[in-house]
């Protein structure tokens, strides 16, 4: 899990009284930071949103309290806390929770519409370069230098092999953009910035006409993840490999390291004091419980398999996210 917000590694930009009008709920002085649209990383790329600018500041009514609001949306309060760092961390946690729920709702709507959990065809652009073609030279465009006074407009370029930049007059050359990409079909790749399609003809039209050249991904198709939660809770949803029809709630689910980290974090923070906790010992996830949770004390270590995934289950009942009330 990307936990920069928990370690304080968030870029903050100071703002002053000229940033917001007095009619807004923001304090005159504070800090701005950005929540990436790709956060949290365990949500499918096709549910990503635009980057969200946030403000954190001391509240007007209580200078010892910090508040976080989004700047460009509803300006809702995402968190309040006694320190700036804690307020930012709680805001990230709440945003992650809501985005995961939104992603799960998108999955449910796709299922109801008879669509696959994620768009099965994805066209990823891996490289794009603009070439300047002159009668005796082919170069890579850096920028277009507009005309100034008696100086003609020109292309600022470099040789294909590198070297120092130089200029070619715009009336002596033309430019051409070369774009290459990969067509993914039901594979394990889900690039954040890919174009997504529900069927092959639409994907091929875009790949053939939108790209100069493309290749088809050779990775074998993989089964789409299911979403799970802890029965009777609001935790998750946690993506895991699909469970068989004979699966029951106390059998394990197969999750990635990233999802295992989320499960451990939610257990330790959202269910603290229940008598069950989790901690990492190298690559192993170790669960420890006392008599508050079970009739005796005990531990269980979950070791990743050869595929790097973790089988977690037996300590509480799972439930498919789609089956909750």
Per residue in 58-109, pLDDT (tens digit) is 998 899 999 999 998 899 999 999 999 999 999 999 999 999 999 888 888 9
Q: Quick one: 192 and 274 in the same domain?
A: no
Q: Is residue 221 part of a domain?
A: no
The per-residue pLDDT for 206 is 93
The per-residue pLDDT for 6 is 45
Q: Quick one: 64 and 83 in the same domain?
A: yes
Q: Quick one: 175 and 197 in the same domain?
A: yes
Q: Is residue 317 part of a domain?
A: yes
The per-residue pLDDT for 5 is 47
Q: Quick one: 285 and 308 in the same domain?
A: yes
H-helix segments, the chain: 4-7, 84-112, 200-210, 257-270
**Residue 7: pLDDT over 50:** no
Which stretches does DSSP call E strand in 186-321?
195-197, 213-216, 226-230, 238-240, 253-255, 276-281, 284-289, 298-302, 310-312, 318-320
> Taking residues 14-19, what's their average pLDDT?
95
Tell which of 166, 189, 216 closes a domain. 216
Q: Quick one: 104 and 127 in the same domain?
A: no
Q: Model confidence at 323, in pLDDT bands (50, 70, 90)?
A: confident
Q: Model confidence at 31, in pLDDT bands (50, 70, 90)?
A: very high
Q: Is residue 297 part of a domain?
A: yes
> Taking residues 144-158, what's their average pLDDT?
90
Q: Quick one: 211 and 233 in the same domain?
A: no
CB 130 within 8 A of CB 175: yes
Q: Quick one: 98 and 130 in the same domain?
A: no
> Taking residues 123-131, what's their average pLDDT?
93
**Residue 225: pLDDT over 80:** no
Q: Which helix (H) or strand (E) holds 53?
A: strand 52-58
Of 133, 180, 135, 179, nearest to 160 by C-alpha is: 133
Q: Verify cis geometry, omega within 30 degrees of 0, for the bond prior to 237.
A: yes
**SS3 of 321, please?**
helix
As a whole number, the mean pLDDT across the chain is 88
Q: Is residue 154 part of a domain?
A: yes
Tell which of 161, 182, 216 closes a domain. 216
CB 48 within 8 A of CB 36: no
Burial zone of 113 (CB within 10 Å; 0-12 exposed, 13-18 middle, 19+ buried): exposed
Give 243's contacts (C-beta < 8 A, 6+ positions apart): 226, 251, 253, 320
Number of domains forming the structure of the chain: 3
CB 267 within 8 A of CB 50: no
The per-residue pLDDT for 196 is 93
Q: Model confidence at 53, in pLDDT bands (50, 70, 90)?
A: very high
C-alpha torsion sign, points 35, 263, 308, 286: positive
Domain that holds residue 97: 4-112
Q: Quick one: 185 and 230 in the same domain?
A: no
Of 26, 84, 86, nearest to 60 by C-alpha is: 26
**Residue 129: pLDDT over 50:** yes
Q: Quick one: 211 and 260 in the same domain?
A: no
The per-residue pLDDT for 108 is 86
Tell which of 86, 112, 138 closes a domain. 112
Please give the residue that has the higher pLDDT: either 222 or 60: 60
CB 192 within 8 A of CB 38: yes
Give the tens place of pLDDT for each residue, 264-296.
Answer: 988 888 777 889 999 999 999 999 999 999 888
> Residue holding tokens 């089964």?
223
Q: Quick one: 12 and 108 in the same domain?
A: yes
């Amino acid at each position: 899990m990307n936990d920069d917000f928990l370690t304080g590694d968030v870029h903050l930009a100071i703002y002053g009284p000229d940033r917001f009008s007095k009619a807004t709920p923001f304090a005159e002085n504070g800090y701005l930071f950005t929540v990436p649209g790709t956060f949290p990383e365990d949500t499918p790329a096709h549910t990503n949103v635009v980057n969200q600018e946030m403000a954190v500041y001391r509240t007007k009514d209580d200078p010892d309290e910090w508040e976080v609001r989004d700047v460009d949306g509803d300006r809702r309060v995402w968190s309040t806390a006694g320190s700036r760092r804690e307020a930012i961390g709680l805001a990230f946690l709440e945003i992650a929770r809501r985005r995961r729920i939104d992603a799960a709702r998108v999955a449910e709507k796709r299922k109801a519409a008879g669509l696959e959990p994620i768009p099965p065809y994805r066209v990823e652009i891996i490289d794009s370069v603009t070439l300047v073609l002159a009668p005796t030279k082919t170069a890579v465009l850096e920028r277009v230098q507009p005309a100034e006074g008696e100086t003609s407009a020109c292309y600022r370029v470099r040789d294909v092999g590198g070297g120092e930049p130089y200029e070619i007059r715009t009336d002596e050359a033309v430019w051409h953009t070369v774009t290459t990409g990969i067509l993914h079909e039901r594979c394990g790749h889900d690039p954040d910035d890919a174009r997504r399609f529900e069927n092959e003809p639409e994907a091929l039209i875009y790949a053939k006409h939108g790209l100069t050249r493309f290749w088809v991904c050779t990775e074998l198709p993989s089964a789409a993840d299911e979403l799970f939660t802890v029965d009777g809770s609001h935790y998750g949803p946690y993506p895991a490999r699909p469970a068989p029809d004979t699966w029951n709630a106390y059998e394990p689910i197969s999750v990635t390291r990233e999802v295992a980290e989320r499960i451990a974090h939610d257990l330790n923070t959202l269910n603290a004091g229940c008598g069950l906790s989790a901690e990492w010992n190298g690559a192993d996830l170790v669960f420890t419980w006392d008599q508050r949770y079970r009739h005796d004390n005990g531990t269980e270590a979950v070791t990743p398999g050869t595929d790097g995934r973790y089988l977690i289950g037996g300590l509480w009942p799972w439930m498919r996210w789609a089956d909750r009330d």
